Structure 1
Amino acid sequence: MNGTTLHKTAATCAEELPGARLEHPFGDDWEVYKVRGKVFMLMTEVPGRPVVILKADPGDAEALANSNRHITPPGYHMNKRHWITLEGGEGVDKKLVTELVTDSYRLVVSGLPKAEQPVDPRTYDSSTQAAR
């Protein structure tokens, strides 16, 4: 998957998530997706390469980075333990992007007060989204 397709795939996935909103708090070069005011995905270009920055469980982030050279911790300009940077390339497909975006969303939703959670983060997954 190339960088343009990466951004399009990630944006399409994020836009379908309940309660997700796109904002541009850092200018037009940054697309920031939030749920209930909390960031779960950022997209920009880092010296000419499109990247997607996602929240990830620290253990998962390490395993993802070890299994795919297009996934790197830390997230660009983010907390080193809880964010990853995803670039387009071999082994990065629609399924992986959708899973990573949905996992990031679920991690953020799980940290919200129960009354503010748009979905149950324990049961919501990318297959729920794909079924719509």
Structure 2
Amino acid sequence: MPRVFLLPGIGGDEAGLANLRSELADSADFVLVDHPDIDRPSAEIRDFAGIVARAVARIHDVEPTGKVNIAGYSFGAQVAFAAACEFQEQGREVGLLALFDSRALSLSVAGRRVSNSDEASGPFAPLPT
């Protein structure tokens, strides 16, 4: 069963994400990757690079090698997208990148603008049907 790292929104885990994990429990092993210091969300948002670095480190601690599967909801989708870019920069394969309810069309990652739109080309192009 594949392991999927799930990054919640800035408010943390919520009923909708718990329902998603429950519905897909037979298909995936979800690992929730919370944002630290969630009681100070404005400070968290100002240090986006730090949030991404902590998420990457936590995922790496659980899954130190091989392909990673990442999903994110809302703010967590932006973190998931940037984390996936970081893993690819490190030479790790991203098997799944699922973004739910994210309004960001692009992010600045490592000094370059990267798109997460459905029309993106390259490593984040839509999966073939």
Same fold (TM over 0.5): no
TM-score in terms of structure 2 length: 0.29
TM-score in terms of structure 1 length: 0.28
